[in-house]
Structure 1
Amino acid sequence: MSPTATRPLDALFRPQAIVATILVGEALAILLALAPARIADRLVLFGLVSLAVQWVSLGTLALLYLLRAPLTRLPTARQAWAAFGIFLAMSALVSWGGILLVEVADPLAEARPAFLLRWTGIAVVVGLLGLLAYQNYWRARQLAVRAKQLELEALQARIRPHFLFNTLNTGAALVHAHPDEAERVLLDLADLFRTALRGPQEIPLTEELALARRYLDIEALRLGPRLVVRWQQPPELPDIEVPALSIQPLVENAVRHGIEPRRGGGTLDLHVRIVGDAIEVVVENDLPDAAPPASGHAIGLASSRRRVDALTNGSGRVESGLEQGRYVARVVVPIAERGGPAQATTR
């Protein structure tokens, strides 16, 4: 699950939320400037109210950001009420600061208690409306996350028969001629399905690459010298997590629809690189002698793309297409984040 799904306050620090806060504040300032007031010049009144409103709204966001670590340890409902309390405290601070720092005439000075009462009332109403909007957003977010999880589980139900059929054919071909190798195939298959049956989740990158290796070991037994694998990766991989079964289906796709249809076999390259602040896994394969049938080829790629898209909250991507006469599939996951939009061509 994405960080935003488990830390609801993070939604307040997105650029869209900050811009929306500023615009709502300006709209409130316009409404207050149009209300009856002692200041006749509406532009001056709008400027003063706008300044006060933005101090309150942006100051509240700044305090929430500074206090986000202890606040995220609270239940979701208490986080919302804590944010409401911080908003009221900031409103009181700005109102008192305005009274103390701005020199006013005596008639206005006599109206300070009424001014504070009106300002506090407005702050309470605006805060409660914001609290209601926040709670509605959080409920909608939870429903969206649950819907995405159900979508991934449905995709898994579609992929497992396809994956099982392909791998069991390999084991069946080895049972009589090479029983020891058939046993190894079944053990590797058990490891692969143990991961598949866990459901949508994130696993260490090293574990996902190990699953891809097991799959290639299975196919190497079946295809023999027709499959040449070249594997390149740095000596030490970053300690990050990637969506489970996000790389292995791309490797399976390369073997089934690239190497296997070729009469003389072909070469599959798997490169793991650190590019800036992201980890990049590239799967390249030779093209088949003839274009393969279109049906069924997109299952593995669609699986990887949806997993990366759903479980990295837009911070990763999956790309695929022809590059320099070879088919290339690329998975990119930022190192600094736990997990993403996916844009790619289909295979």
Structure 2
Amino acid sequence: MTTPSALRAIDAPQPLDTLWQAPTIVWVVLAGECLAVVLALAPGASGSRLIYFGLASLVIQWVSLLSLGLLFALRRWLSNLRPQQLAWVALVLLLLNTWLVTGMAWWVFGPDWALARDGWPALILQLTGIVLSVGLLGLAAFENAWRGRLHAVRAKQSELLALQARIRPHFLFNTLNTGAALVHRRPEEVERLLLDLADLFRAALAGPRDISLEDELALARRYLEIESLRFGDRLTVDWKLPRQLPAVTVPALSIQPLVENAIRHGIERRPEGGDVEIAVTTTADTVIVRITNPLPSGGENRPGHQVGLNASQVRIEALTGGRGSVLTQQEGKRFIATVRLPVG
């Protein structure tokens, strides 16, 4: 069931996206402070080293944060560049901002500034050398880190394709068996089953992509309508949704497998059946989707190979950069799968 677009199972990460995250900004500030400490403690520094540290820290933080700000402002034009090209652009901006901040300091403080004890030309050459040295080392580190990240993404792509290949046949066989059973007993409902099946497989054959939470829940509803025909009175579905679903995106067919797990490892293993509950709640920065189902008769949950859970977890973590999650837990006699999606 894989198509050429399935080769894009997880979109390639964008290096610019990480620059606006709080951890990156914190690390940039800390790295700047460490460089200021090194310069202040270097042999040959005259006068108060504390004052020297403060001035060096001021220059370094202005240069680094100004560079981050320019990269953010130019992100639309830079987004089409390859990562290696983007790294060189960042180095050039760093160098230009160093000259700009140094020039502003000369204009404000004049020739008596503590950092320019050997003259402004010497200071500019010194700062240029430091920026080039640190920048080139950063380029080398970035190249290695970026290659490692791409290898990790490709590994997740291969894992995801294998997981999806195992999910789809099981669902298809169950649905076809349900349709065969309904042909003679309730032929009028076979058309609805086939239309729902067509919607689900259209989504699968379209290849991995991101869709709205509303569309993903609509696919889960199609799946549950099919299973309702199979289980009849043994299955009750309880939807608890807000009036307006939050405008967040999820990987296509990432929540539906969790609903499928609720059927396979809950309802299907209970002769008396049970209810599946799908609830969506929101907080200031998180959307929470909870899928709950009763445990199998005997009270022991046996999730099997957890293909649906693993596939959903891999895809949601990849989409959200690790900020989203898929967690499972047992509360009393019910099994709960919780999907957390960041807002924005």
TM-score with structure 2 setting the length: 0.82
User: CA shift at 1:212, angstroms?
Assistant: 1.4
Contact 1:200 1:307 in 2 (8 A): no
What's 1:190 paired with?
Answer: 198
Correspondence for 2:64 among 50, 57, 61: 57
| In structure 2, C-alpha distance between the alignment counterparts of 1:67 and 1:83, rounded to whole Å | 11
Q: Deviations over 1:143-202 (max 9, x none)?
A: 322222222112112222332233233223223333443343333223222222334322
1:329 aligns with 2:316: no
Correspondence for 2:28 among 17, 21, 24: 21
Q: Deviations over 1:248-305 (max 9, x none)?
A: 2222222222223333322222223334343332222233322467362623333322
What's 1:229 paired with?
Answer: 237
- Number of residue-to-residue matches in the alignment: 334
What's 1:84 paired with?
Answer: 91
Which deviates further from its counterpart, 41-50 or 135-144? 41-50
User: CA shift at 1:211, angstroms?
Assistant: 1.6
Amino acid at match of 2:19: L
1:238 aligns with 2:246: yes
Correspondence for 2:327 among 311, 316, 319: 319
Amino acid at match of 1:253: N
Residue aligned with 1:315, SS: coil
Contact 2:265 2:303 in 1 (8 A): no
User: CA shift at 1:104, angstroms?
Assistant: 2.3
Correspondence for 1:9 among 8, 16, 24: 16
What's 1:342 paired with?
Answer: none
Amino acid at match of 1:332: R
Contact 2:281 2:288 in 1 (8 A): yes
What's 1:253 paired with?
Answer: 261
Contact 2:196 2:223 in 1 (8 A): yes
What's 1:151 paired with?
Answer: 159
> Which has the higher relative contact order, 1 or 2, with Cα contacts under 8 A spaced 6 or more apart?
2
Correspondence for 1:95 among 84, 99, 102: 102
Structure-2 change in CA distance of 1:247 and 1:23 (3 Å)? closer
Contact 2:266 2:295 in 1 (8 A): yes
Q: Once the two structures are aligned, what percentage of the paired residues are identical?
A: 52
| Alignment RMSD | 3.1
Correspondence for 1:309 among 314, 317, 321: 317
Amino acid at match of 1:86: L
Contact 1:2 1:312 in 2 (8 A): no
| In structure 2, C-alpha distance between the alignment counterparts of 1:162 and 1:225, rounded to whole Å | 22
| In structure 1, C-alpha distance between the alignment counterparts of 2:283 and 2:21, rounded to whole Å | 25
Contact 2:156 2:314 in 1 (8 A): no
Contact 1:152 1:200 in 2 (8 A): no
Contact 1:250 1:283 in 2 (8 A): yes
| In structure 2, C-alpha distance between the alignment counterparts of 1:99 and 1:57, rounded to whole Å | 19
| In structure 1, C-alpha distance between the alignment counterparts of 2:49 and 2:104, rounded to whole Å | 22
Unaligned runs of 5+ residues in structure 2 are: 1-7
1:263 aligns with 2:271: yes
Contact 1:285 1:326 in 2 (8 A): yes
Unaligned runs of 5+ residues in structure 1 are: 337-347
What's 2:123 paired with?
Answer: 115
| In structure 2, C-alpha distance between the alignment counterparts of 1:2 and 1:200, rounded to whole Å | 5
| In structure 2, C-alpha distance between the alignment counterparts of 1:6 and 1:309, rounded to whole Å | 12
| In structure 2, C-alpha distance between the alignment counterparts of 1:216 and 1:318, rounded to whole Å | 20
Residue aligned with 1:260, SS: helix
Which deviates further from its counterpart, 273-282 or 289-298? 289-298
| In structure 2, C-alpha distance between the alignment counterparts of 1:144 and 1:154, rounded to whole Å | 16
Contact 1:254 1:283 in 2 (8 A): yes
Amino acid at match of 2:68: L
1:170 aligns with 2:200: no
Q: Deviations over 1:1-31 (max 9, x none)?
A: 9999543123233333333333433443344
Which deviates further from its counterpart, 110-119 or 313-322? 110-119
| In structure 2, C-alpha distance between the alignment counterparts of 1:109 and 1:298, rounded to whole Å | 66
Structure-2 change in CA distance of 1:27 and 1:222 (3 Å)? closer
User: CA shift at 1:87, angstroms?
Assistant: 0.8
| In structure 2, C-alpha distance between the alignment counterparts of 1:292 and 1:3, rounded to whole Å | 34
Structure-2 change in CA distance of 1:2 and 1:28 (3 Å)? farther
1:127 aligns with 2:135: yes
